[in-house]
A and B are shown apart, each in its own frame.
Chain A
Amino acid sequence: MKRAAQSTETPQVGRSVPRLESWLKVTGRAEYVHNLRLPGMLYGKIFRSTVAHGRIKRVDVAAAQALAGVYRVITSKDIRELIPEPYYGPAFHDQPILAIDKVRYVGEPVAVVLASDPHVAEEAVHLITAEYEDLPAVYDEVEAMTSKAIVHDILKPAGTFPDLKHLGGRKNTNIALDFHLRRGNAAEAMQSADRVFEHRFRTQQVMHTPLEPLVSVAESTENSLTIHTASQSPSFVRIEIARLLGWPENRVRVRVPFLGGGFGAKLYIKLEALVSVLSLITKKSVKLSLTMEEQFFTITKHASTFRIKSGVSKDGRIVARECEVWWNGGAYADIGPRVTQKSGFTAPGPYDIEHVAVDSYALYTNLPPAGALRGFGIPQLVWAYEGHTDLMARELGIDPIEFRRQNLLRDGRPQATGTVMKDAAIEKVLDRLEALMDWKSPLKNTSKTLKKGRGIAIGFKACVSPTTSLAAININADGSCIVYCSTADMGQGSDTAMAQIAGEVLHMAAESITVVHSDTDVTPYDMATLGSRSLFHMGNAVKLAAEDAVRKLNQLRSELQLPADCPIPDIFKKKYGMQAGNVAGAGSYIPTYKSPDANGLTDNATPFWMVGGTGVEVEVDTETGKVCVTRMVNVADVGTPINPKIVETQISGAAIMQLGFTLHEKMEFDAQGQLRNASFAEYKIPGFLDLPASIVNEAVVAEQKSGPFGGKGVGESGTFGVSPAIANAIHDAVGVRLTALPLKAEDIWEKLK
């Protein structure tokens, strides 16, 4: 499909441009790594640990190696001949490419079979046997604080983050990071408060389950490596693989086409290190593609425990708050320490509280590793602080919305870290929720057994900082435009948004612009596609690159003595005598940031705030405990929506995903740390029949002044309020309070008896 460059005065920002890749996706032609087959390619199948914590005594691969059609079986011994210290990770270099000496969770990769027929490789995996000496294991995040079972003999921070350096070499601990924040004197203020409330909340371990399971392909020569991977962080993959191999970055190329969903599962290193060494060892192209089941053993969302305590004055002002949060990071840290710290910034919630203490701990346990999942820890925190808020309002006899309004954190006021709030429409979100929920209207029960209830919750998030995005723009001789950026389009619509931002600057229709997908040989550095950061950071970089291109075009016009409105193709014709040449624009963006001090305080914690709130109406069946969400209202501050339609789908999709984490999804482990429901037959994600009858989504009128054309991130905001809003509504309906997710009918029924 040839798209002609077209000059336009139509605004590109604020228009619901259909996704640029629409045709590809509705015809099944969109490029995913799953489609890729290279000549002579081998398929790898992984042999995994069956014990949660054990010393490896023996791995017998002889029978597998002898099976007809098997090319080779690889263990960590082979890998160490290539890389003596094959440990990776964004925060800690703690994860071995294949298990070395010890296994730390059920499902950990121990060996790989390679064959040109994946069925043969699979069959051979079943012929491998391993013997382990069982070690004591720990599964619970609070127990891990004091457990004698130690997951890692020694802590190995990556060195990338200065605030983790002090943990280097620490022994006999499962605490991968402890973050502490002290503002004012919470303990003292608590003592002088009129009322004190304390609650404990828990969240469960869940999985992202992108419908395109994790997949990577590697091809290599004697001194170069190309990795085709479903990754949200191609620049990180390149740097980390180059580090492991001791190579310069320019010998590792990482290509990322479309992603079939990501949600945080496809960040940092997942299969990339393994597929790279397999290719380098065999000198052949290798593909690793996980099954849905295997994804559950790769990356998950932190289970958590949150103890929250507030001191409240007679007139309903929250004067002090203590937060103690334990994050179950599983066997490898992944980005858990970052989740622990960054979410620690906002653990006290969107309230104006003078005295605050936060203690947030990242724990190692013998469960599959946990990382980022759509919210970077925020949904776990909102679950607790908004349940807590609702319980206090009930106890105090104040309307839950009024109680929130009374204590709300407003622009111009310092948040827990001391950073002054700016462009965070918290109050507007609350106001719109109240209006859209028709909050004051009475709910009438029309049935004896179906009880109606209503609940709301709001949350906020500091965008992770500081992170860098670079972008490049090429203006061709015919005036057409290409955008180069390493943001991965995993469904959030970044290609379209970046084209709209470039088009707005260049006065070109977004539909006429080509966006080149991540290819580290071609597209510039980007920290990663995570945490709702891309629209803001990469959007700013693309805008700067487009402005740079405009400046250079204008310079050419003036050098060539052409009028200011001279069409682009005529500039090139005059300069080069024919349709030739191009103009390249570059943009780089990194916001300012100040690291927290010893008390966890900083006056510049984040470049922007995300705000999201949800209100629900539920019907609870008092005979069965079954909860039906009949109405869901999601309101968010996304700044100025760049593409209103895609923004709405993001808000709504995030809320429905969180609905699954609220009512159904839970990874169920037995006493030996064996996961019992790693399949869609037993682990149910939301489908059509789980939808609330009515869903309303709204982006409040707002502007992020530092964002590109007033925009900011939206991918996670819809998740924040869903879980506590439903628990609050259940309480409203039948007087039952659940403090652990998911909210199961049997637990409600048990309490109703």
Chain B
Amino acid sequence: MRREIRFSLNGREVSAQVAPHESLVEVLQESFGLHGARESCGQGMCGCCTVLVNGTAVSGCLYLASLVEGGKVYTIENGNELDAVQQAFIESGAFQCGFCTPGFILMTRQLLEEQPDPDDDAIKHYLSGNLCRCAAYPEIIEAVKLAARKRRKT
């Protein structure tokens, strides 16, 4: 039932044995030990499982692993240096328990690619698919704006 798929994971060519029903989050965790994308609500409502597939954010707990064959997958674990968004999240104290944080960071990166200088309203709407039960929302808005400033400077 399992078959081998090949794809690019955080810039490296990899392969994995996957079953047809397995989600991308399961394969990232079981085959690659990457736990930054994590299942929470299991319905694509919370954003904790966010993964970038071919440049677009997907809900990794619903996205079938088989579908990434030949594609490019990026997770929160990509890169060794903190980027402007991660730095801004730290400086703004934009998280508490941290369970939802990777999803917010990946979505913020995508937001800032599309809109380098978003206002509050744009931030709220773009990130409305991500939930934070600790409700660090005001701090996240602050972090997104700080990240935008940092990115414009460099």
Contact = CB atoms under 8 A, between A and B. Distances in A.
B145 to A, nearest CB: 14
A710 interface: no
A687 B90 contact: no
Given A261-B99, A652-B138, A680-B45, A688 B127 contact: yes
B41 interface: yes
Interface stretch (A15-23, A524-532, A602-610): A15-23
Given A263-B133, A688-B137, A25 B41 contact: no
B21 A18 contact: no
Contact of A687 (B86, B98, B128): B128
A28 B46 CA distance: 16
Contacts of B135: 652-654, 656-657, 686
B99 A28 contact: no
A431 interface: no
A32 B35 contact: yes
Contact of B35 (A34, A292, A491): A34
Contacts, number: 154
A18 B90 contact: yes
B69 interface: no
B134 A491 contact: yes
A27 interface: yes
Given A26-B89, A211-B48, A688-B137, A680 B96 contact: no
Nearest to A686: B135
B134 to A, nearest CB: 5
A514 interface: no
B50 to A, nearest CB: 11
A680 B93 contact: no
Given A491-B96, A493-B96, A210 B90 contact: no
A300 interface: no
Contact of B86 (A16, A27, A119, A210): A27
Interface in A453-499: 490-493
B93 A25 contact: no
Interface residues of A, number: 56
B91 A18 contact: yes
Nearest to A650: B96
Interface in B92-108: 93, 95-102, 105
Given A261-B133, A657-B133, A685-B131, A212 B40 contact: yes
Interface of B: 21, 29-30, 34-38, 40-43, 45-46, 48, 75-77, 82, 86, 89-91, 93, 95-102, 105, 123-125, 127-128, 130-139
Interface of A: 16, 18-19, 21-30, 32, 34-35, 37, 119, 208-213, 258-263, 291-293, 490-493, 645-646, 649-650, 652-654, 656-657, 679-681, 685-689, 691, 695
Given A25-B95, A26-B82, A28-B36, 18 more contacts: A21-B98, A26-B95, A26-B102, A28-B101, A29-B36, A32-B35, A32-B99, A211-B48, A211-B133, A260-B97, A291-B42, A649-B134, A657-B133, A680-B46, A687-B128, A687-B130, A688-B128, A689-B125
